[in-house]
């Protein structure tokens, strides 16, 4: 039987409503699964920057306080003071047992202030590019005063390189099992899912597609996502004569992404950096093969080929397209484990 616990979650952003599917999907999945499995937990969310409004609202029966910081330096002190005032209010009502911050940045900074002031546990989850030599919060904060959680072994290693300290826990963002007909026809050969920005490196996706076309003239590919490089990438495909081999869909709801994954063979993910890479877990759960660099969750398993350079991305894809592939779902990142690991940190279970 779980204990009743009160969690204050500090995050730069949070969904503005229950239809805001693009805002931190793994956090949304985690909170819904946590509430389902541990009904006694009481979660309050403090959203520092997004939504771009001030006020209180409910998200799936979770109370959210939005401070509307809008990433403005002028609003920063107001936002920080609001978070501490909220913590004080919750403490006075005996509704504050643990503070959990996302990203090792201003939320971790305020989390430490709240932790010290009210003598409660502080957990900080590293989320991605916050683990960087450019992040002065990594030097500013006393990391011995909080429980640091990474999302992957790669992220843990990078944190140790930068800080010369180990993380306390390594807990992946998990996904639900997906149910579908594994014999369904896989019409899409290569699928890309992610933001169309420099870091995600989709020019390499198009280069690989161009090389593969000489051997597979009818090859079909798709890229789901949007970003400031979209027009440039579309222009690249036209210059290479690939416009009949690729489709750019823009952003789609996750249910639509999963449906497309179940029609696709290979997730080609050429990203140069991932804190975790939830898309990897989603692809495996939807039966796909993966070709990627050694980023985020990356693991060399039967359905996951890891490359060191663009040529290896091409050769892995080529080899897979010449094989009789299995599309049985594989969930090596179950959300149940994510929930139970955090439940222990929160003190919900022993």
Q: CA 126, CA 170: separation in Å to the nearest integer?
A: 10
Q: CA 80, CA 73: separation in Å to the nearest integer?
A: 11
Domain ranges of the chain: 6-174+334-346, 188-321
Q: CA 97, CA 5: separation in Å to the nearest integer?
A: 6
DSSP at 301: B
Instruction: Provide the pLDDT for residue 144.
Output: 87
DSSP at 15: -
pLDDT band for position 2 (cuts 50, 70, 90): low
Domain 188-321 sits in CATH at 3.40.50.2000
Which is the CATH superfamily of the domain at 6-174+334-346?
Answer: Glycogen Phosphorylase B; (3.40.50.2000)
> Residue 123: enclosing H or E segment and its boundaries?
strand 121-125
Q: What is the pLDDT of residues 211-250, one digit of tens each?
A: 999 999 999 999 999 999 999 999 999 999 999 999 999 9
Residue 326 dihedral angles phi and psi, to the nearest 5°: -95, 140
pTM, two decimals, is: 0.93
Instruction: Provide the pLDDT for residue 228.
Output: 97
When mean pLDDT is compared across 63-67, 261-265, 298-302, the lowest value belongs to 298-302
Same fold, 6-174+334-346 and 188-321: yes
Q: Report percent pLDDT > 90 for the chain.
A: 93
């Amino acid at each position: 039987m779980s204990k009743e616990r009160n969690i204050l979650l500090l995050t730069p952003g949070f969904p503005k409503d229950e239809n805001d599917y693009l805002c931190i999907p793994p956090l949304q999945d985690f909170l819904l699964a946590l509430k389902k499995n541990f009904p006694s937990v009481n979660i309050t969310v403090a959203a520092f920057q997004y939504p771009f409004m001030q006020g209180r609202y409910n998200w799936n029966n979770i109370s959210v306080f939005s401070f509307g910081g809008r990433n403005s330096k002028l609003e920063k002190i107001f936002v920080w003071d609001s978070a501490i005032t909220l913590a004080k209010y919750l403490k006075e009502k005996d509704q504050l047992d643990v503070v959990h911050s996302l990203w090792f940045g201003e939320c971790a900074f305020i989390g430490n202030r709240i932790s010290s002031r009210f003598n409660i546990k502080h957990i900080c989850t590293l989320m991605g590019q916050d683990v960087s030599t450019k992040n002065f919060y990594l030097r500013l904060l006393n990391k011995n005063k909080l429980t640091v959680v990474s999302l992957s072994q790669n992220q843990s290693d990078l944190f140790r390189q930068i800080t010369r300290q180990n993380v306390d826990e390594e807990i992946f963002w998990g996904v639900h099992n997906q149910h579908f007909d594994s014999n369904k026809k896989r019409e899409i050969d290569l699928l890309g899912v992610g933001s169309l920005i420099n870091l995600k490196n989709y020019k390499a996706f198009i280069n690989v597609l161009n090389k593969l076309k000489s051997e597979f003239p009818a090859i079909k590919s798709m890229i789901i996502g949007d970003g400031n490089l979209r027009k440039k990438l579309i222009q690249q495909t036209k210059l290479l004569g690939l416009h009949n081999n690729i489709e750019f869909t823009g952003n789609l709801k996750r249910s639509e992404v999963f449906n497309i994954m179940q029609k696709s063979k290979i997730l080609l993910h050429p990203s140069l950096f991932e804190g975790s890479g939830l898309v990897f877990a989603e692809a495996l759960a939807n039966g796909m093969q993966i070709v990627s660099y050694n980023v985020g969750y990356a693991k060399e398993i039967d359905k996951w080929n890891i490359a060191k350079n663009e040529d290896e991305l091409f050769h892995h894809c080529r080899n897979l397209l010449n094989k009789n592939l299995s599309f049985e779902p594989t969930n090596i990142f179950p959300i149940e484990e994510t929930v139970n690991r955090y439940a222990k940190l929160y003190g919900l279970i022993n």
